[in-house]
Structure 1
Amino acid sequence: MKTKKIFLLLAALSTQLSFAQFAKVVDKDGYVNVRKNADAKSNIIGKINSEEILYIFSEDPDESWLNIDYSHKKEKPLTGYIHRSRVKFIESYTEVPSTVKNTDNAVFKSGNRTVSILSGPFDYPGHKKDFSSVTAGNDRLLEKYKGQEIWGTDGLVPQTHYKSITIQTGNKTIQIPQKDIENLFNVNNESTRCYFDIHNDTLYIMMNNSEGAGAYAALFIIKKGEYKGRILAVPF
């Protein structure tokens, strides 16, 4: 019975990862209503302003109502439904092609714009003191790294990590702050994609890392040559 439950969980994760993705609210009214259920007559439980980024959960990429998750630093997380006509999927922007993708390196280049990602094995013994942990039954699980929540390990020892993410635009170099990548583990460079919104001069670096219960999605945003921050989501 336990094996069957694990299989069903993995199957569900596979389905969610196939369609779950980041999107931007684009609404001429300046905001979109979030409804409790997938129905225009359902109760409005919140609003999200245009240009905000949210995470979409969907079993059908063509359905009209999308199950979303939205987190803002100053507000409580919001989960509900919005109409697909009110969002633009990040994947719908122009993709920046990759020139290199392997375990330790990913490079994306278009015109005078280059994104370089360096990753590699994580030296856990050398950083063990930077972790805090919690007890779960008979297990001791890693919880935080340098005070931040750990992403990608499901409480286990990290195998890989990001060393740096650098964006070169003409003569300008933009470095993603170390604090924003140091707690992201078990990197999968093969899943990483870059997209460019030419009308708003915005670059998106999107990745799906780890697997199983440790899976997570990350989005880094660079607008008009300035780093604007990251958004993290659990894709199930």
Structure 2
Amino acid sequence: MFKLILTLAGICAFLPSFAQFAKVVDKDGYANVREQANGQSKIIGKVNSNEIVYVFDPFDLASGWINIDYVENEKIRFSGHMHTSRLKLIADFEEIPLAIAEEHDATFILRDIAVSIQSAPFDYELNKKLFSSTNYGDYTIEDKYKGKQVWGTDGTIPQTQYTSILITKGNSKIEIPRGEFENLFNVNNDFANCYYDKDSDRIYITSVNSDGAGGYAVLFIIENGKYSKKIVLMPF
């Protein structure tokens, strides 16, 4: 698994080809996660169909196996190998193209679907009382915001923050609750993408955000006209 600390440019150059979210698609209703990249290796976990994993290596058509992380509640539940026949990359679903691109505003439109992602500079002085710190002996890091893990910084002051993620589909409007993204900082809308999974009626919103070393990948899922959940992890 590729486990290096990268600059923002390096992370984003690496991710599109090698590391991204994928959906489990298995007619048996689940897929095994194995310790090693072969069918005889120990099964260390199972992931249900339609669940999301994060894949780190290019699909190896010769071996048919790929390295994955399965995340629950913003923590890695297990890491291992899954057969590529049980996966479909999120980027292989129908793309919702970018229509408007500004510094703090990105809008994606496909037929009757529109996704608007807005961010803004973060006022640390106004919000610093909402941070809490952890002492690591030789140093202290502000690593909690409103009691939640801080994403997108490496102990530095956040520069930007999501302010709104609004999805319109036909006559329906779905707004992702603020509490789902208020601890996700240093937003880079240049690296946001949206996709539509017609069979599951899912809209996927992905992004890679960072201040450099504190990079993270996030996936928001809208399903059947309602906000479902988010998955967030460090992609290295």
TM-score (norm 2): 0.90
Deviation of 1:16 after TM superposition, in Å, equals 5.2
CA contact (8 A) 1:204 1:220 kept: yes
**Quick one: distance in 1 between partners of 2:49 and 2:72?**
13
Partner in structure 1 of residue 67 of structure 2: 67
Partner in structure 2 of residue 124 of structure 1: 124
**Quick one: distance in 2 between partners of 1:93 and 1:184?**
25
Amino acid at match of 1:118: Q
Deviation of 1:76 after TM superposition, in Å, equals 7.0
Q: 1:9 to 1:173 in 2, by over 3 A?
A: closer
**Quick one: distance in 2 between partners of 1:32 and 1:181?**
30
Deviation of 1:13 after TM superposition, in Å, equals 5.2
CA contact (8 A) 2:154 2:211 kept: no
Q: 1:14 to 1:229 in 2, by over 3 A?
A: closer
Deviation of 1:177 after TM superposition, in Å, equals 0.3
Q: What percent identity do the matched residue pairs reach?
A: 49
Partner in structure 2 of residue 27 of structure 1: 26
Partner in structure 2 of residue 49 of structure 1: 48
Deviation of 1:231 after TM superposition, in Å, equals 0.5
Q: Where do 1:142-161 residues align within 5 Å?
A: 142-161=142-161
CA contact (8 A) 1:16 1:235 kept: no
Aligned length: 228
What is the RMSD of the two structures over their aligned residues, measured on CA atoms? 2.1
**Quick one: distance in 2 between partners of 1:105 and 1:187?**
11
Amino acid at match of 1:17: L
**Quick one: distance in 2 between partners of 1:143 and 1:33?**
34
**Quick one: distance in 2 between partners of 1:17 and 1:111?**
28
Partner in structure 2 of residue 213 of structure 1: 213
**Quick one: distance in 2 between partners of 1:131 and 1:98?**
34
CA contact (8 A) 1:16 1:57 kept: no
Partner in structure 1 of residue 86 of structure 2: 86
Partner in structure 2 of residue 194 of structure 1: 194
More moved, 177-186 vs 109-118: 109-118
CA contact (8 A) 1:153 1:210 kept: yes
Indicate the SS of the match to 1:200: coil
Task: Extract unaligned runs of 5+ from structure 1.
Answer: 1-7
Q: Which has the higher contact order (CA 8 A, sep 6+)?
A: 2
**Quick one: distance in 2 between partners of 1:134 and 1:200?**
41
Indicate the SS of the match to 1:213: coil
**Quick one: distance in 1 between partners of 2:112 and 2:52?**
26
**Quick one: distance in 2 between partners of 1:49 and 1:159?**
37
**Quick one: distance in 2 between partners of 1:17 and 1:113?**
26
Deviation of 1:140 after TM superposition, in Å, equals 2.7
CA contact (8 A) 1:166 1:175 kept: yes
**Quick one: distance in 2 between partners of 1:49 and 1:10?**
32
Partner in structure 2 of residue 5 of structure 1: none
Partner in structure 1 of residue 163 of structure 2: 163
Amino acid at match of 1:10: L
Partner in structure 2 of residue 3 of structure 1: none
Q: Deviations over 1:4-23 (max 9, x none)?
A: xxxx7438857753411001
Q: Which has the higher helix share?
A: 1
Deviation of 1:83 after TM superposition, in Å, equals 0.6
Deviation of 1:233 after TM superposition, in Å, equals 1.4
